[in-house]
């Protein structure tokens, strides 16, 4: 192609047709510029397509993370549900409305100190945000919803407060509590080399008397109030999670 253009230019010069030569040269430059612009546009479209594919893959990854979070939330709802039911059983025993064995009451009470945390599965979000591709999502409302979701920490905070409240109970101020009862879940200690301590099958503490201590009652009631907040946050967080996952799916289906 370039060889043909060169021959045409040489012929025009030989015929001393300068005006036509200049017009032809300008036209040739314009064609070259148009060709460059077309190539640039194609390259831009190619890069945009690559970006779009990467964004879609990360959004699918976020959906997978959200699904893992829902599974964790379901676990926490069941886990803290058992603890809360145990606290209620203890308080009902105190009110004389239930009559559980000492072993059951001890198990309920010590279960309150077994807490679990929640952390977001945010690897794909961090990649999307850190790469700057989050701002390239065409649906800006979706971008804002994703940022808002991963910025909120209300569930984590409520679980952290529960842990703090459960950890503040001081057994030293409740002499009715037998110290070795802390080891009643002691089957878990058996993996320690040379572990020989025997704590028996039954709790030594009389929990029916133990729960009459005002400090113990205040501790349990306080945990019950915090459990209510935890459950509300778990419910709200799960609803927000499912809504965001649905919004992402709708965007991917466009």
Summarised one tens digit per residue, pLDDT across range 80-101 is 999 999 999 999 999 999 999 9
pLDDT-based confidence at 168, cuts 50/70/90? Answer: confident
For 193-239, how does the pLDDT look when each residue is reduced to its tens digit (9 = 90+)? Answer: 776 766 667 888 999 999 999 999 999 999 999 999 999 999 999 99
Q: In this model, does residue 143 exceed pLDDT 90?
A: yes
pLDDT cut 90: percent of the chain above it = 54
pLDDT band at 142 (very low <50, low <70, confident <90, very high): very high
- Structure confidence at residue 182 as a pLDDT band (50, 70, 90): confident
Domain-wise residue ranges, the chain: 54-252
**Reported pTM:** 0.76
122 pLDDT exceeds 80? yes
What is the 3 state secondary structure string of the chain?
A: CHHHHHHHHHHHHHCCCHHHHHHHHHHHHHHHHHHHHHHHHHHHHHHHHHHHHHHHHHHHHHHHHHHHHHHHHHHHHHHHHHHHHHHHHHHHHHCCCCCCCHHHHHHHHHHCCCCCCCCCCCHHHHHHHHCCHHHHCCCHHHHHHHHHHHHCCHHHHHHHHHHHHHHCCCHHHCCCCCHHHHHCCHHHHHHCCCCCCCCCCCCCCCHHHHCCCHHHHHHHHHHHHHHHHHHHHHHHHHHHHHHHHHHHHHHHCC
């Amino acid at each position: 192609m370039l060889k043909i253009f060169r021959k045409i230019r040489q012929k025009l010069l030989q015929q001393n047709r300068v005006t036509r030569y200049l017009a032809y040269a300008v036209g040739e430059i314009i064609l070259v510029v148009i060709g460059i612009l077309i190539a640039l546009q194609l390259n831009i479209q190619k890069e945009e397509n690559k970006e779009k594919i990467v964004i879609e893959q990360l959004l699918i990854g976020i959906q997978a993370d959200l699904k893992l979070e829902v599974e964790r939330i379901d676990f926490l709802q069941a886990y803290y549900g058992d603890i809360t039911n145990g606290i209620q059983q203890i308080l009902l025993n105190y009110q004389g409305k239930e009559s559980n064995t000492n072993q059951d009451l001890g198990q309920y009470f010590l279960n309150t100190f077994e807490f679990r945390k929640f952390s977001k599965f945010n690897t794909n979000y961090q990649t999307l945000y850190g790469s700057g591709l989050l701002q390239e999502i065409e649906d800006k409302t979706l971008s804002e919803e994703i940022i808002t979701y991963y910025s909120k920490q209300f569930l984590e905070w409520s679980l952290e407060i529960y842990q703090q409240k459960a950890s503040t109970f001081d057994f030293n101020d409740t002499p009715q509590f037998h110290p070795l009862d802390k080891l009643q879940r002691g089957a878990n200690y058996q993996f320690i080399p040379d572990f020989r301590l025997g704590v028996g099958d039954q709790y030594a503490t009389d929990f029916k008397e133990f729960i009459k201590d005002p400090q113990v009652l205040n501790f349990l009631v306080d945990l019950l109030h915090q459990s209510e907040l935890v459950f509300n946050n778990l419910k709200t967080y799960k609803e927000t999670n499912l809504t965001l996952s649905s919004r992402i799916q709708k965007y991917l289906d466009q």
